[in-house]
């Protein structure tokens, strides 16, 4: 039995439930027989699927929450803190997690880690639907500093054309059969967009994780580094896997082909496996041994990575492709097709405006660049 759904369950049964729950949530008429027929289930199979309907999310480990473990913080408290994170009045206030809870008027009875896990990041918010952004003071300072240094280290367009921007992509597959990319920590829906129907993110039923790199005139294959497609798996790569499955198997041949000076690998500073947290580690050793030129991204800045901005459909969701099953090979095919749809011309254009983007970050005192 594939991980992610119940014993005796099938994607069709899960989709029947998903379809009915969607129609009900929208107040639309529900014709059960027609829905069973559409998914090629008999009446008894259909009703069996419904009676197997999920227990409340939090008691059912098979279904899990979309992201992370169940929170110890109530929904209304979360909302109060989320509002602060979107509030321009607080953009210039230096808040930490405790300060945030206090500003939201909450008793501080949960620890930093819990707040972090629940709210993702304090650094910024970007609405996946309308693009509204809010960048926190301390993060703006960090971004300004990064942009200035990057412009000094790589002042020429040619420097950026040598850059290969890398990232892990986390594809998520919903009960509705659609595919999405898991948003970054600060990418959410703002309060007005959250009220619009159809924009919310349903629970993931499967996930697929791939490493990629892009640059001017360059686009790697998807490197699937995690054999698990469980919805509980966040796709966090280990450093050993990064060294073995990515640096050794994929990046090394590029070095052999073009020579050590032919490109600079840009790595996501927020991912532990890349080795940004310390000077001495396996990943850094690998880079030294093989003469890999690399640089870390600013971190928590989707506007400064082509793999977070521009190249994806709106809201990081594909509306056209609907999967009929969740077999590993089907998931991989869907991800490969989506990746094939990312045009090189778009990437090239993005790379060529990178110096201007950084300049804009400096001029706007660290604010997020719109796209
Ligand atoms: Zn919005």
Summarised one tens digit per residue, pLDDT across range 228-285 is 999 999 999 999 999 999 999 999 999 999 988 899 999 999 999 999 988 889 999 9
According to the per-residue pLDDT averaged within each range, which of 28-37, 215-224, 268-277, 311-320 is highest?
215-224
| Cα-to-centroid distance, 195 and ligand 1 (Å) | 9
| Residue 224, token pair as written in the block | 């699937």
User: What separation in Å is there between the alpha carbon of 314 and the centre of ligand 1?
Assistant: 12
Question: What average pLDDT does this structure show over 122-150?
Answer: 95
31 vs 291 pLDDT, higher one:
291
Query: How far away, in angstroms, is 12 Cα from ligand 1 center?
Result: 33
Q: Is the pLDDT of residue 311 over 90?
A: no
CA distance 221 to 211: 9
Give the least confident one: 17-26, 57-66, 155-164, 181-190: 57-66
Asked if 179 contacts 126 with a C-beta cutoff of 8 angstroms, the reply is no
Window from 60-74, 135-149, 204-218 with minimum mean pLDDT: 60-74
Sorted by sequence, the CB contacts under 8 Å of residue 241 that are 6+ apart come out as: 225, 226, 273
HEC secondary structure over 102-124: HHCCCCCCCCHHHHHHHHCCCCE
Q: Taking 80 as the threshold, does the pLDDT of residue 337 lie above it?
A: yes
Q: Find the 189 Cα to ligand 1 centroid distance in Å.
A: 5
- In the reported structure, the alpha carbon of residue 346 is separated from the centroid of ligand 1 by a whole-number distance in angstroms of 24
Task: For residue 167, report the distance from its CA to the centre of ligand 1, in Å.
Answer: 25
- Which among 148, 155, 160, 133 is positioned nearest to 353, based on CA atoms? 160
CA of 316 to the centre of ligand 1 (A): 14
Strands 133-135, 124-127: pairing is antiparallel
Strand partners, 214: 165, 219
Least confident of 2-11, 86-95, 311-320: 2-11
Which residue reads 């259909």 in tokens? Answer: 46
- pLDDT above 70 (res 61): no
Three-state DSSP at 127 gives strand
The average pLDDT across 188-196 equals 90
The rounded Å distance from CA 296 to ligand 1 centre is: 29
Q: Are 223 and 171 in contact (CB under 8 A)?
A: no
Q: How far is the CA of 280 from the centre of ligand 1 (A)?
A: 42
Question: Quick check: 62 pLDDT over 50?
Answer: no
Q: In the block, which residue shows the tokens 């059960």?
A: 32
Q: What is the pLDDT of residue 224?
A: 98
Number of residues in the chain: 371
- Over 70: is that where the pLDDT of 71 sits? no
Where does the pLDDT of residue 65 fall: very low under 50, low under 70, confident under 90, or very high at 90 and above? very low
98 Cα: distance to centroid of ligand 1 (angstroms): 26
What integer pLDDT is reported at residue 35 of this predicted model?
Answer: 84
Indicate the helix (H) or strand (E) that contains 354: helix 354-363
pLDDT at 319 over 90: no
For ligand 1, the distance from its centroid to the CA atom of residue 130, given in whole angstroms, is: 4
| pLDDT value of residue 8 | 56
What spacing in Å lies between the alpha carbon of 87 and ligand 1's midpoint? 13
């Amino acid at each position: 039995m594939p991980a992610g759904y119940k014993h005796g369950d099938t994607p069709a049964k899960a989709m029947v439930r998903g379809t009915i729950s969607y129609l009900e949530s929208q107040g639309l008429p529900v014709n059960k027989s027609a829905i069973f027929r559409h998914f090629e289930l008999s009446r008894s199979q259909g009703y069996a699927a419904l009676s197997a309907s999920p227990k409340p999310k939090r008691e059912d480990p098979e279904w899990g929450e979309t992201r992370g473990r169940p929170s110890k913080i109530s929904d209304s408290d979360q909302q109060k803190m989320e509002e602060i994170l979107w509030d321009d009045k607080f953009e210039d206030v230096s808040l930490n997690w405790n300060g945030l809870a206090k500003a939201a008027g909450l008793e501080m009875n949960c620890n930093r880690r819990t707040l972090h896990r629940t709210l993702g990041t304090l650094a910024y918010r970007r609405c996946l639907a309308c693009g509204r952004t809010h960048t926190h003071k301390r993060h703006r300072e960090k971004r300004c500093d990064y942009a200035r240094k990057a412009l000094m280290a790589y002042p020429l367009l040619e420097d950026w054309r040598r850059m290969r921007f890398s990232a892990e992509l986390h594809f998520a597959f919903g009960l509705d059969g659609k595919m999405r990319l898991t948003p970054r920590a600060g990418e959410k829906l703002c309060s007005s967009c959250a009220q619009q129907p159809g924009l919310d993110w349903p629970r993931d039923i499967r996930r697929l994780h791939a490493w990629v790199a892009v640059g001017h005139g360059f686009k790697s294959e998807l490197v699937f580094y995690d054999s698990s497609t469980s919805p509980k798996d966040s796709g966090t790569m280990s450093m050993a896997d990064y060294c073995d499955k990515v640096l050794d198997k994929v990046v090394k041949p590029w070095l052999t082909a073009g020579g050590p000076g032919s490109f600079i690998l840009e790595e996501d500073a927020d991912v532990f496996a890349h080795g940004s947290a310390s000077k001495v580690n396996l990943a850094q050793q690998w880079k030294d041994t093989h003469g890999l030129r690399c640089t870390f991204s600013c971190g928590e800045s989707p506007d400064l990575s082509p793999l977070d901005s521009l190249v994806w459909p709106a809201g990081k969701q594909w509306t056209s492709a609907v999967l009929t099953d969740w077999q590993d090979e089907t998931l991989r095919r869907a991800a490969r097709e989506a990746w094939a749809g990312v045009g090189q011309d778009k990437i090239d254009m993005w790379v060529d405006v990178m110096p201007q983007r950084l300049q804009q970050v400096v001029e706007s005192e660290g604010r997020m660049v719109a796209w």
